[in-house]
Amino acid sequence: MAYLFTSESVSEGHPDKIADQISDALIDNFLAWDEDARVAIETLVTTGQVVLAGEVKSKVYLDVQKIARSVIERIGYTKSEYMFDANSCGILSAIHEQSADINQGVDRKTKQEQGAGDQGIMFGYANNETENYMPLALDLSHRLLYELAALRRENDQIKYLRPDSKAQVTLEYSDNHKPQRIDTIVISTQHDEFDTEAAMQAKIAEDIKNILIPRVKAQLKPELQALFTDDIKYYINPTGKFVIGGPHGDTGLTGRKIIVDTYGGKGAHGGGAFSGKDPSKVDRSAAYATRHIAKNLVAAGVADEILVQISYAIGVKDPMGIYVNTYGTSKVNFTDGEIAKKIGELFDMTPYGIETRLGLRKPIYSETAAYGHMGRTNRKVTKTFENSNGEIKTMEVELFTWEKLDYVDKIKEAFNIK
- Same domain? 337 vs 365: yes
Annotation-wise, does 164 bind a ligand? yes
Range of the domain at 177: 3-10+138-246
Annotation-wise, does 36 bind a ligand? no
Annotation-wise, does 16 bind a ligand? yes
- Same domain? 227 vs 296: no
The CA-based diameter of the chain, rounded to the nearest angstrom, is: 67
Annotation-wise, does 79 bind a ligand? no
Question: Is residue 345 situated within a structural domain?
Answer: yes
Residue 28 has pLDDT above 80, yes or no: yes
pLDDT tens digits for range 225-275: 999 999 999 999 999 999 999 999 999 999 999 999 999 999 999 999 999
Domain total in the chain: 3
Last residue of a domain, one of 211, 246, 281: 246
Annotation-wise, does 250 bind a ligand? yes
Annotation-wise, does 165 bind a ligand? yes
- Same domain? 274 vs 408: yes
Annotation-wise, does 225 bind a ligand? no
Annotation-wise, does 98 bind a ligand? yes
pLDDT tens digits for range 280-318: 999 999 999 999 999 999 999 999 999 999 999 998 999
Annotation-wise, does 342 bind a ligand? no
- Same domain? 22 vs 97: yes
- Same domain? 94 vs 215: no
- Same domain? 60 vs 142: no
Please spell the DSSP secondary structure of 317-356, one letter per residue: SS-SEEEEE-TT-B-SSS-HHHHHHHHHHHS--SHHHHHH
- Same domain? 239 vs 261: no
Last residue of a domain, one of 228, 246, 264: 246
- Same domain? 222 vs 264: no
pLDDT tens digits for range 34-68: 999 999 999 999 999 999 999 999 999 999 999 99
- Same domain? 196 vs 51: no
Question: Is residue 287 situated within a structural domain?
Answer: yes
- Same domain? 399 vs 286: yes
Read off the DSSP letter of residue 126: E
Question: Is residue 189 situated within a structural domain?
Answer: yes
- Same domain? 223 vs 266: no
Annotation-wise, does 257 bind a ligand? yes
Tell me the average pLDDT across 1-9: 95
As a whole number of angstroms, the distance between CA 250 and CA 247 comes to 5
Residue 106 has pLDDT above 70, yes or no: no
Question: Is residue 384 situated within a structural domain?
Answer: yes
Alpha helices in 168-261 (DSSP H): 197-207, 213-217, 222-225, 246-249, 258-261
Annotation-wise, does 256 bind a ligand? yes
In CATH, what number is assigned to the domain containing residue 309?
3.30.300.10
Annotation-wise, does 281 bind a ligand? yes
How many Cα atoms sit within 13 Å of 160 on the Cβ side? 18
Q: pTM for the whole thing?
A: 0.96
Annotation-wise, does 20 bind a ligand? no
Annotation-wise, does 175 bind a ligand? no
- Same domain? 89 vs 232: no
